[in-house]
Amino acid sequence: MGTERTAYPRAATRGRAARLAAALRRSRPGARVELDHTDPYQLLVATILSAQSTDARVNIVTRDLFRTWPDPASLARAPRAKVEAAIRSTGFFRAKAKSIQGCARALVERHAGQVPRTMEDLVRLPGVGRKTANVVLGAGHGIAAGIVVDTHMARVARRLGLTRSDDPVAIERDLMAIVPPADWIAFSIAGVLHGRHVCQARRPRCTACPIADDCPSRDSTSEGAVGPEPRSGAGAAGARRPAARAITRAADRRRPRPRGRGRGPGRS
Q: Which residues are catalytic?
A: 131, 150
Count CB atoms within 10 A of the CB of residue 244.
10
Burial label, 52 (beta-carbon count in 10 A; 0-12, 13-18, 19+): middle
Per-residue burial over 180-194, b if 16 or more Cβ lie within 10 Å, else e, is: eeebbbbbbbbbbbb
What whole-number distance in Å separates Cα of residue 126 and Cα of residue 100?
7
Cα torsion for 132, 136, 142, 145, to the nearest 10°?
-30
The CA distance from 42 to 232, in Å, is 30
Residues 6+ apart with CB under 8 A from 193: 28, 31, 34, 152
Residue 103, classified by CB atoms within 10 Å of its CB into exposed (0-12), middle (13-18) or buried (19+), is: buried
